[in-house]
Protein backbone atom coordinates (compact mmCIF):
# COMPACT_ATOMS: atom_id res chain seq x y z
CA UNK A 1 0.00 0.00 0.00
CA UNK A 2 1.08 3.55 -0.60
CA UNK A 3 0.00 7.00 0.52
CA UNK A 4 -2.58 8.94 -1.46
CA UNK A 5 -1.63 11.85 -3.65
CA UNK A 6 -3.73 15.01 -3.53
CA UNK A 7 -5.08 14.27 -7.02
CA UNK A 8 -6.21 10.77 -6.00
CA UNK A 9 -7.94 12.15 -2.93
CA UNK A 10 -9.86 14.68 -5.06
CA UNK A 11 -10.91 12.00 -7.56
CA UNK A 12 -12.07 9.51 -4.90
CA UNK A 13 -13.47 12.02 -2.40
CA UNK A 14 -17.17 11.47 -3.21
CA UNK A 15 -16.87 7.69 -3.19
CA UNK A 16 -14.92 7.59 0.07
CA UNK A 17 -16.88 10.31 1.89
CA UNK A 18 -19.51 7.87 3.22
CA UNK A 19 -17.20 4.89 3.79
CA UNK A 20 -16.58 4.27 7.53
CA UNK A 21 -12.93 3.37 7.01
CA UNK A 22 -11.49 5.12 10.08
CA UNK A 23 -14.28 3.82 12.31
CA UNK A 24 -13.75 0.23 11.20
CA UNK A 25 -9.98 0.50 11.67
CA UNK A 26 -10.60 1.86 15.18
CA UNK A 27 -12.80 -1.15 15.92
CA UNK A 28 -10.10 -3.47 14.59
CA UNK A 29 -7.59 -1.71 16.85
CA UNK A 30 -9.84 -2.27 19.86
CA UNK A 31 -10.19 -5.97 18.99
CA UNK A 32 -6.42 -6.25 18.45
CA UNK A 33 -5.62 -4.83 21.88
CA UNK A 34 -8.15 -7.00 23.71
CA UNK A 35 -8.31 -10.35 21.97
CA UNK A 36 -6.71 -10.43 18.52
CA UNK A 37 -2.92 -9.92 18.60
CA UNK A 38 -2.75 -11.49 15.13
CA UNK A 39 -4.16 -8.22 13.74
CA UNK A 40 -1.32 -6.07 15.09
CA UNK A 41 0.76 -5.88 11.92
CA UNK A 42 -2.21 -5.06 9.69
CA UNK A 43 -3.64 -2.44 12.03
CA UNK A 44 -0.27 -0.73 12.32
CA UNK A 45 0.12 -0.76 8.55
CA UNK A 46 -3.32 0.53 7.62
CA UNK A 47 -3.29 3.25 10.32
CA UNK A 48 -0.56 4.98 8.31
CA UNK A 49 -3.11 5.80 5.60
CA UNK A 50 -6.17 6.85 7.61
CA UNK A 51 -5.70 10.59 7.14
CA UNK A 52 -6.40 10.16 3.40
CA UNK A 53 -7.92 6.72 2.82
CA UNK A 54 -8.43 5.54 -0.75
CA UNK A 55 -10.50 2.71 -2.19
CA UNK A 56 -7.48 0.39 -2.09
CA UNK A 57 -7.13 1.02 1.66
CA UNK A 58 -10.82 0.26 2.18
CA UNK A 59 -10.38 -2.95 0.16
CA UNK A 60 -7.54 -3.98 2.50
CA UNK A 61 -9.73 -3.28 5.55
CA UNK A 62 -12.52 -5.42 4.06
CA UNK A 63 -10.00 -8.20 3.42
CA UNK A 64 -9.16 -8.26 7.14
CA UNK A 65 -12.84 -8.36 8.05
CA UNK A 66 -13.18 -11.45 5.82
CA UNK A 67 -10.09 -12.92 7.52
CA UNK A 68 -11.72 -12.46 10.93
CA UNK A 69 -15.00 -13.96 9.67
CA UNK A 70 -13.14 -17.09 8.62
CA UNK A 71 -11.53 -17.49 12.05
CA UNK A 72 -14.47 -16.82 14.39
CA UNK A 73 -14.24 -20.26 15.96
CA UNK A 74 -10.53 -19.86 16.78
CA UNK A 75 -9.46 -18.58 20.17
CA UNK A 76 -6.49 -18.04 22.43
CA UNK A 77 -6.04 -20.83 24.95
CA UNK A 78 -3.80 -20.47 27.96
CA UNK A 79 -2.37 -23.52 29.67
CA UNK A 80 -0.77 -24.12 33.03
CA UNK A 81 1.92 -26.49 31.81
CA UNK A 82 5.64 -26.15 32.23
CA UNK A 83 7.73 -23.66 34.13
CA UNK A 84 6.79 -20.05 34.79
CA UNK A 85 9.39 -18.59 32.42
CA UNK A 86 9.09 -15.13 30.90
CA UNK A 87 10.53 -14.85 27.39
CA UNK A 88 10.60 -12.00 24.91
CA UNK A 89 11.28 -11.90 21.18
CA UNK A 90 11.66 -9.00 18.79
CA UNK A 91 12.10 -8.41 15.08
CA UNK A 92 12.51 -5.35 12.90
CA UNK A 93 12.64 -4.26 9.29
CA UNK A 94 14.64 -1.08 8.81
CA UNK A 95 13.41 1.29 6.12
CA UNK A 96 10.85 -1.13 4.65
CA UNK A 97 8.08 1.40 4.06
CA UNK A 98 8.25 2.78 0.53
CA UNK A 99 6.73 6.22 1.20
CA UNK A 100 8.68 7.47 4.20
CA UNK A 101 11.33 4.77 4.65
CA UNK A 102 10.12 4.24 8.22
CA UNK A 103 11.11 1.12 10.09
CA UNK A 104 8.74 -1.56 11.35
CA UNK A 105 9.35 -3.51 14.52
CA UNK A 106 7.46 -6.05 16.56
CA UNK A 107 7.75 -7.75 19.93
CA UNK A 108 6.13 -10.72 21.62
CA UNK A 109 6.30 -11.80 25.25
CA UNK A 110 5.34 -15.18 26.63
CA UNK A 111 4.82 -16.35 30.20
CA UNK A 112 4.99 -20.09 30.70
CA UNK A 113 4.65 -20.60 26.95
CA UNK A 114 1.47 -18.45 26.73
CA UNK A 115 1.49 -15.26 24.66
CA UNK A 116 0.63 -12.26 26.85
CA UNK A 117 1.79 -9.29 24.76
For residues 90 and 38, membership in a common domain is answered with no
pLDDT at 72: 85
70 in the same domain as 85: no
Instruction: Indicate whether 94 and 59 sit together in one domain.
Output: no
Which residues neighbour 112 within 8 Å (Cβ) at sequence distance 6 or greater? 79, 80, 81, 82, 83, 84, 85
Q: pLDDT tens, 23-62?
A: 999 999 998 887 888 888 888 888 888 888 888 889 999 9
Domain that holds residue 42: 1-76
56 lies in the same domain as 19: yes
Q: Are 20 and 45 in the same domain? A: yes
The residues facing 46 across adjacent strands are none
DSSP string, 42-90: HHHHHHTTTTS--HHHHHHHHHHHHHHHHTTT--------S---EEEEE
Buried b (16+ CB within 10 A) or exposed e, 48-61: ebeeebbeebbebb
Task: Give how many domains the chain has, as a whole number.
Answer: 2
Rounded to whole angstroms, how far apart are CA atoms 67 and 19? 20
The per-residue pLDDT for 3 is: 67
One domain, residues 106 and 91: yes
Q: Are 54 and 108 in a shared domain?
A: no
SS (H, E, C) 5-17: CHHHHHHHHHHHC
Amino acid sequence: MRSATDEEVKIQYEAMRTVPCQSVVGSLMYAMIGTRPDLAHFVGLVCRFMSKPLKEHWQAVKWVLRYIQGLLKRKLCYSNKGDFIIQGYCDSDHGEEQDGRRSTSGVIFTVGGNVVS
